[in-house]
Chains A and B, each alone.
Chain A
Amino acid sequence: MRSGYFKQTFEELIVLTDSPTVKAWTALLVLALLVAPLVVGSYMLSHMTVILYTLVGVLGLTILTGFTGLISLGHVAFMMIGAYAYAIAITRFGWTPLPAMLLAGIVPAVFGLVVGLPSLRLQGLYLAITTLAFSYIINAIVLSGGKFTGASRGISLVRPVIFGLDLNVDRNFYWFCLAIATIVLLATLNLRRSYIGRALVAIRDNDIAARTMGINLWRYKLLAFVLSAFITGIAGSLMGMYINYVTVEGFPFLISIEALAIIIVGGIGSVLGAVLGTVFIVSLPDVISAVLGVFGAQTNDLLTRMAFEVKSALYGLAIIAFLRFDPRGLRGIWHDLRHAWVHWPQRF
Chain B
Amino acid sequence: MMYVVELILTGLAVGAIYGLVAMAFAVIYKATGIVNFAQGELGMLTAYASWSLAVTLGTGAILTVLIAVVAGAIFGLLAERLVMRPMLGEPLLSVVLVTVGLAVVLRSIVMLVWGPSPKTLELPGADTIVSVFEVGIRTSQLSVIALLLVSLISFWAFLRFSRFGMAMRAVAADERTARLMGISTARVQAVAWALSSALAGLAGVFFAVVYGLSPTIFELGLKAFPATVLGGFDSILGSGGSGLAIGVIENLVGGYLPSTLKEIAGFLVILVVLMVRPFGLFGEKRIERV
Q: Which residues of A contact B (CB under 8 A)?
A: 69, 71, 73, 118, 121-126, 128-130, 132-133, 136-137, 140, 143-144, 206, 208-209, 212, 254, 257, 260-261, 264, 268, 306, 309-310, 312-313, 315-320, 323-324, 327
Contact = CB atoms under 8 A, between A and B. Distances in A.
Contact of B111 (A123, A124, A306, A327): A306
B11 to A, nearest CB: 19
B101 A261 contact: yes
B87 A324 contact: yes
A212 B289 CA distance: 12
Contact of A132 (B86, B102, B222): B222
Contact of B271 (A130, A208, A257): A130
B109 A71 contact: no
B117 interface: no
Contact of B104 (A124, A126, A316): A316
Given A123-B278, A316-B105, A264 B97 contact: yes
A209 B260 contact: no
B290 A133 contact: no
Contacts of A73: 100
Nearest to A321: B101
A30 to B, nearest CB: 33
Contacts of A309: 107-108, 111-112
Given A118-B271, A118-B274, A257-B104, A319 B264 contact: no
B275 A319 contact: no
Contacts of B92: 124
B93 A71 contact: yes
Contacts of B105: 312-313, 316-317, 320
A-B pairs, top 9 by smallest CB distance, nearest first, are A319-B101, A316-B104, A313-B108, A316-B105, A133-B267, A320-B101, A309-B108, A316-B101, A121-B278
A306 B288 contact: no
Interface of B: 34-35, 83, 86-87, 90, 92-94, 96-98, 100-105, 107-109, 111-112, 222, 225-226, 229, 233, 258, 260-261, 263-264, 267-268, 270-271, 274-275, 278-279, 286, 288-290
B221 to A, nearest CB: 10
B98 A319 contact: yes
Contact of A320 (B98, B229, B278): B98
Contacts of B233: 125-126
7 contacts: A122-B278, A126-B274, A129-B270, A309-B112, A319-B101, A323-B98, A324-B83
B288 A208 contact: yes
A133 B271 contact: yes
Q: Looking at A144, A261, A316, which has the most chain B CB atoms within 10 Å of its CB?
A: A316
Nearest to A121: B278
Contacts of A319: 97-98, 100-101, 104
A85 to B, nearest CB: 21
Given A118-B275, A133-B267, A137-B268, A313 B104 contact: yes
B267 A323 contact: no
